[in-house]
Chain A
Amino acid sequence: MIVSKFIPQTEGWGEDVATWFNILAAFAFVLGGGNLLKLHLQKISSKVTGWGYSVIILVSFIATLVIGLGKFGIHPSAEYPNVAWSGPTQPEGSAFGWVYEYLLQPLTATMFAMLAFYIASAAFRAFRAKNFEAFLLLATAFIILLGRTIAGVFITSWIPPNSPFAFLRLEELSVYIMQIFNTAGNRAIMIGIALGIASTSLKILLGIDRSYLGSSED
């Protein structure tokens, strides 16, 4: 793929390799499933702490797999009415659609929503202005938190929108912080990472860094 980037005549190689990658990705699903089974069967067999959760994982995994592959409750598609299993994977009313709608969706949404509770708790306990840098971080957080809601508009609504001080309105400040400070910081990090990857890759390609082979030399 590296060669295909630099030599136009070999451009097609990159596409071929990308296609292989997708075939490998399909096999990875099977390997992933096999690995999941092996890992959790070992846990159940040796009855390690929390082996009951492994039972739940395996039962959920196998049940979902059977329901999905079996296409229970799914009728053949309108285009191919005589071909069994030609219907879509998870239409409404099908068993797989039910699993998706009433189990997977609420469970994953609940997990994500719980984040708000832990963030609130962490903000109360850990977000302290212990030094000047922490104070700056705190002030930025306040501006963004308030500027992303109507509260920011109300709090600084006394500053006329057309005045020279309009940039001090919280909604404007939050946009300014995101577009200027955040962009500059993130670009610096991205460029730094890219340069680091390039230099590490060169060191490996030129044999300067052999640590990945288990050598103690840098």
Chain B
Amino acid sequence: MWNWLNNLDRRWIFLMMFLAVSIPILIIGVTGLTFPETPTPLAQATFDALDELPSGSKILLSFDYDPASEGELGPMATSFVHQCAQKGHKMYFMTLWPLGPRMIEKNIEKVITSDYPDLQYGVDYVNLGYRAGNEGVIKVIVTDLQQMYLTDVRGVGLKEIPMMDGIRNIQAMDLIVNVSAGYAGTKEWVQYAVSAFPDKLRMVAGCTGVQAPLLYPYIPDQLIGLLGAIKGAAEYESIVNTWVRRDRLETMLGGLGFDQGQIAELVQDPSTMSSMLDEPRFADQFKNTKDRDAVIALAEAPVDPKYLEGQRRMGPQLVAHLLMVGLIILGNIIFFVGRGQGGAA
């Protein structure tokens, strides 16, 4: 047994990693269960940066990643679009990566087209697409957008797009949101855009796990918020999902004539909505049971799985991390025992 462990074939480790990832995926896929997430200050700061802006603010979303890192970055990109769409921000999509346009289209289809069909292309959101040149593109559009972008991704001239009216460069944006998998990405946006115009440009970012340590030095001045890998995505997703439900409930309850105090009390914990609405002071507000049922249905409706991708991926990450810790401990035990026996482990 000891010899077997000492000369463990790496294919056994590959098999263990395969099981550590695939079994939680299957269990979470069947049960739909996710782990609770407690947001870290950086995830909260990212959410607040978008939330504090008034509805209709201009947000530049640069999705600088490709399919290779979509598993890690896709969920946070979806949540960014989800928050912007719910808040009513104007979304300007672009990418510095040649494979990025499809990432933008996927998120537009996933969030805007399916859940926010009232948002109009060219009025509420626009896809500027990809331009070659990496940081060169940033350097140009930060002072003159039209030197780089004469048309959007559909070939429509920018002058014909209503939401591009009056936008000479990206300094007109209220916030830059960057989802980055490497070069060109968050570091280049910080160096060539935010650092060049610190009084005008603000930025939040989401990045891969390997990038995160390199981006911490830019917090909090150049980067207001940062989502690191799938953990950051899960935390941010959790905040956005909770807020979206509350925001929709507030709108619905406001339409039914509830005052601000009552609304605040009711949306505090939507899971208790049904029992709270039984109290006479709330129950008397409803003209019919249909409205009451609609409020309860909204409060208790399960979150669409497409908005839980980050949280669902924390399961496989947990087991994989535990396996890694176990392997490191086992490797060290073998090392120290071998050394104690005078071996050359």
A-side residues, CB < 8 A to B, are 14-15, 18-19, 21-22, 25-26, 29, 77, 79-80, 86, 88-90, 97, 100, 104-106, 108-109, 111-113, 116-117, 119-121, 123-125, 127-130, 138, 141-142, 145-146, 148-151, 153, 171, 175, 178-179, 182-183, 186-187, 190
Contacts and interface: CB of A to CB of B under 8 A. Distances in A.
B91 to A, nearest CB: 18
Ranked 4 nearest A-B pairs via Cβ? A108-B68, A105-B67, A22-B133, A112-B68
Contacts of A148: 229, 231, 317, 321
Which secondary structure dominates where chain A touches chain B? Answer: helix
Nearest to A109: B67
Interface residues of B, number: 62
B156 A171 contact: no
Given A129-B335, A171-B38, A186-B213, 19 more contacts: A19-B140, A22-B140, A22-B148, A25-B132, A88-B154, A90-B101, A90-B102, A109-B67, A109-B70, A117-B18, A120-B14, A124-B13, A138-B332, A142-B328, A151-B318, A151-B322, A153-B38, A178-B213, A183-B219
A124 B14 contact: no
A146 B136 contact: no
B212 A123 contact: no
A19 B322 CA distance: 50
Contacts of A121: 10, 13-14
A100 B103 CA distance: 11
A186 B216 contact: yes
A127 B327 CA distance: 9
B18 to A, nearest CB: 8
Contacts of B71: 109, 112-113
B17 A117 contact: yes
Contact of B216 (A106, A129, A149, A183): A183
B21 interface: yes
Interface string B7-35: 01010011011100100000000000001
A18 B136 contact: yes
Given A21-B136, A90-B101, A129-B332, A111 B68 contact: yes
A179 B45 CA distance: 14
B216 A22 contact: no
B325 interface: yes
A150 B319 CA distance: 10
A150 B21 contact: no
B136 A22 contact: yes
A118 B119 CA distance: 44
A18 B216 contact: no
A183 B215 CA distance: 8
A89 B105 CA distance: 12
Contacts of A88: 153-154
B143 interface: yes
A15 B148 CA distance: 11
Contacts of A123: 324, 327-328, 331
A26 B68 contact: no
A150 B99 CA distance: 33
B216 A124 contact: no
A135 to B, nearest CB: 10
A130 B331 CA distance: 12
